[in-house]
Amino acid sequence: MSTTEALADTTEQRPAPPPAERIDLAAEYREAGVADVLERLDNELVGLAPVKQRVREIAALLLVDRVRQRVGLATEPPSLHMCFTGNPGTGKTTLALRMAEVLHRLGYVRKGHVVSVTRDDLVGQFIGHTAPKTKDVLKRAMGGVLFIDEAYYLYRPENEKDYGQEAIEILLQVMENQRDDLVVILAGYADRMERFFASNPGMKSRIAHHVDFPDYDNDELVQIAERMLADWNYRFDEGGQEAFEEYLVLRRRQPHFANARSVRNALDRMRLRQALRLFNAGEQTISVDALQTLTAADVRSSRHFADTAGHAKP
């Protein structure tokens, strides 16, 4: 028998390899309970389609990575530290909470809680004060997510006696050495975060996911207002609805507009005006419907509406 024939004979007698294992990713997704979290996110946040798509992409990456680990495929654990940029009131804190749930359900953090802090929680006011403060925060956040709002305030190069750099150095060490037990999310205005990263390249190199939160448009802000009012058992009447849409146009022209946060504050003031209007009406009895209804008068009493002479109303 020739060598070629012998090899052919051996090949024919060799048992066929077992069929490749098939993974039902849809079943994995359902069993992890991630769909429930994403559905809740859709219900909580109006719009933000690019943000929600990015969350789905991250969830898909982690799901596939988990399956790969289970079937024995060597893999480098994905880096999970994130940066959320955008104006105030665009849902960054809410997304951090839901992201922590996703990470927990997929097994990437032990607890799934969120510790939300600012500079004051991390940076001390005298020598020897910063390290204990920062380490205490990190200890509380371990096993979950540390959310640092307005993170760029940690770095103040104009002040030689500032201790923010010490907090940053401790954070960098933990983000690198304990990334399997803590996810750090930095948040703030996009331009200020870029300057912060330019001054701290070690921080930027550890951030794997950058998520930008767009401002809400007027239609989305109206939807947000309607959801808030429904949660509080209030509603606009027809005139109130029209007046609120006009209010949004005026308010967005003013400085310091904070999207959903400003809408909430405005609705609180409208509820105050409604209560005063009902009280001053002098009626002995009022209907339940009146207790629930915000009218044009409650909206147009805002200082952002001007009278015909151009003077702001109180």
Can you give 88-155 as a three-state secondary structure string?
Answer: CCCCHHHHHHHHHHHHHHCCCCCCCCEEEECHHHHCCCCCCCHHHHHHHHHHHHCCCEEEEECHHHHC
pLDDT for 78 equals 84
Tens digits of residue pLDDT in 192-206: 999 999 988 889 889
Domains of the chain, by residue range, sit at 25-213, 218-300
Q: Indicate the CATH number for domain 25-213.
A: 3.40.50.300
pLDDT for 150 equals 94
Q: What are phi and psi of 184, to 5 degrees?
A: -105, 130
Q: How many CA atoms lie within 13 A of 168 on its CB side?
A: 21
Cβ–Cβ under 8 Å, residues 283 and 291: no
Q: What are phi and psi of 312, to 5 degrees?
A: -75, 135
Tens digits of residue pLDDT in 128-177: 889 999 999 999 999 999 999 999 999 887 776 778 889 999 999 999 99
CA–CA distance from 269 to each of 14, 131, 158, 250, 287 (Å)?
80, 42, 39, 16, 21
Cβ–Cβ under 8 Å, residues 155 and 193: no
> What is the C-alpha separation between 273 and 296, in angstroms, rounded?
11
Cβ–Cβ under 8 Å, residues 87 and 191: no
pLDDT for 263 equals 96
Give me the residues of the chain with pLDDT under 70, please: 1-21, 160, 306-314
Please tell me if the domain spanning 25-213 has the same topology as the one spanning 218-300: no
218-300: CATH topology is Helicase, Ruva Protein; domain 3 (1.10.8)
> What is the C-alpha separation between 243 and 248, in angstroms, rounded?
9
